[in-house]
Amino acid sequence: MTETARLPEVEVSLTVNGERVTRRIEPRMTLVDFLRLELELTGSHVGCEHGVCGACTVRVDDEIVRGCLMFAVQADGTNVVTIEGLADGGSEDDLLEAFRERNAVQCGFCTPGMVMTASDLLARYPSASRDEIREFLSGNYCRCTGYQAIVDAIEKVSQSRAGGGR
């Protein structure tokens, strides 16, 4: 019979939401599974497992990535921020409030990935037009909102940050 024993575990050590964590894991474990199963950070959602839907978006160092397309071992030594860390950090409170203010949340499943992406967009392109916002968001599926309220929320933050208001 075929033997399917667990693969030898390897050690990974990284910073997640400001805390240093070290775990021994199977090398085939994805980053999103690592966050969800090892660290119980379940805000990063698994929506497709093939990098299309964006629900698992997290920040690794200075880039947002698909947590389902990256192995946890590849994040060894990096600085990872998830929705929990971003939301608790306080620096994006205006973005979270704008999502609520503009009704950009319905079922909530895509929301963490949307917020992570929106945060990255606002940092990179602080004065993005609505079309540019739509293009940047096009890697994140939302099945509920029709995207309009999400675009509204991001545009609102972009304008208020440009105006000096936070």
Partner 1 sequence: MASQFGIGQPVRRSEDKRFLTGRGTYVDDINLPRQTHAVVVYSPHAHADIKSIDTSAAKSAPGVLLVLTGEDAQADGLGGYGQALMPEDVGGPPGFRTTRPVLATGRVRHVGERVALVIAETEEQARDAAELIEIDYAPLPATVLAEDAVKDGAPLVWDGAENNLCFPLMMGDADATEKAIASAHYVAKVHIYNNRLTTNPMEMRGTIGDYNRAMDEYTLYTSTQNPHGVRAEVAGHILHMHETKLRVIARDVGGGFGLKGGVFPEDALVVWAAGKLERPVKWVPSRSEAMILDDDGRDQTLDAEMAVDKDGKILAMRWIALNNLGAYVVGPGAVVPMFALGMSQGVYKIPTMLVATKAVFTNTPPTTPYRGAGRPEATYTIERLMDAAARGIGMDPAEIRKRNFIQPSEFPFETHTHQIYDSGDYATALDKCLELSDYKNFAKRRAESEKAGKKRGLGLSYYIDNTGIFNDRMELRFDPSGSLTIVAGTFSHGQGHETTYKQIASDLLGVPFEDIKLVQGDTAAVSFGRGTYASRSAHVGGSALKAAAEAVIESGKKFAGMMLEAGESDLEFVDGLYKVTGTDKAIPMTEVAKFAYIPAGPPSELGTGLEGVGNFATTMSSFPNGAHVCEVEIDPDTGKVVIDRFFAVDDMGNIINPLLVAGQIHGGIVQGVGQALLEDMVYDRESGQLLSGSFLDYAMPRADDVPSFQIGMSEVPSPSNPLGVKGAGEGGTVGATPTVINAIVDALESAGVTNMELPATPERVWRALSKAA
Query: Applying CB under 8 A, which residues contact partner 1?
Result: 1-6, 26, 28, 36-37, 41-50, 52-53, 55, 82-84, 87-88, 96, 99-101, 103, 105-112, 115, 130-131, 133-135, 137-151
Nearer to partner 1, 61 or 135 (CB): 135
Nearer to partner 1, 40 or 63 (CB): 40
Nearer to partner 1, 47 or 78 (CB): 47
Cα–Cα separations (whole angstroms), residue 110 to 12, 53, 103, 146: 28, 8, 14, 12
Query: Can you tell me the distance from the alpha carbon of 103 to that of 47, in angstroms, rounded to the nearest whole number?
Result: 22
Query: Can you tell me the distance from the alpha carbon of 91 to that of 109, in angstroms, rounded to the nearest whole number?
Result: 22
Nearer to partner 1, 77 or 135 (CB): 135
Query: Can you tell me the distance from the alpha carbon of 39 to that of 34, in angstroms, rounded to the nearest whole number?
Result: 7
- Comparing CA positions, the residue from 34, 55, 59, 57 lying closest to residue 46 is 55
**Residue 122 CA neighbour count, 13 Å, CB half:** 25
Read off the tokens for 57: 């978006």
Q: What is the closest distance, in whole angstroms, from the C-beta atom of residue 139 to partner 1 in the complex?
A: 8
Q: What is the closest distance, in whole angstroms, from the C-beta atom of residue 136 to partner 1 in the complex?
A: 8
Q: What is the closest distance, in whole angstroms, from the C-beta atom of residue 118 to partner 1 in the complex?
A: 11
Q: What is the closest distance, in whole angstroms, from the C-beta atom of residue 14 to partner 1 in the complex?
A: 18
